[in-house]
Structure 1
């Protein structure tokens, strides 16, 4: 059974309105509680923003493509042959998805 952490110390931090708004923006952008966000910083970890909906959709599509390729592999092993057209179609879709991911990851976002 896991031991529960005992956190007996409380810390109060004073911020002006601008600092507090910025802090809340960072916290909400990561999907963390204020406590979890600060504890990550204390542990020298940089809290990461939540992935975008586009990113989640790309991952979903990659999983589907991977599943299709696995199914083709199973059929190829059982029958000794492969549906070349289906394989090429899935490979093209996979390569296009990889390009899309790269564009999203390396896209320079303007600092506001």
Structure 2
């Protein structure tokens, strides 16, 4: 049996429907997921730009390189482990920060004014 088995009919005018379709398309979510996200108190973010994925691949490649350097250095014993760990942690944090900034939904305002629907986010 489905987890979500309660259908709800919502009537919209043409302008509201166009706005919904536009926002759903920007988010890359299904219409149902988009609406459930809003109901649960979050504002879905727009899909990240195509270069986001290239940046993430590059950052991950740097991380892999750091790991390879660390393995070689540990075998030879010629690395400042504290400095390497510091840099590796900075890289991990940068990757997580980029992912969070671009893909994580934001909590809606608690004052009930949701008119901006996430359009006025800081960069």
TM-score by length of 2: 0.59
- Identify unmatched segments of 5+ residues in structure 2: 102-118
Q: What is the root-mean-square deviation in Å for CA atoms of aligned residues?
A: 2.9
Query: Is 1:5 the equivalent of 2:3?
Result: yes
TM-score by length of 1: 0.64
Could you say which structure has the higher helix fraction? 1
How many residue pairs end up in the alignment?
89
For 1:72, the equivalent position in structure 2 comes to 69
Shift of 1:6: 4.0
Measure, in 2, the Cα distance between the counterparts of 1:16 and 1:40: 22
Superposed structure 1 runs of 4+ greater than 6 Å apart: none
1:50-89 aligned at under 5 Å gives the runs 50-81=47-78
Gaps of 5+ in 1: none
- Residue number in structure 2 paired with 1:21: 18
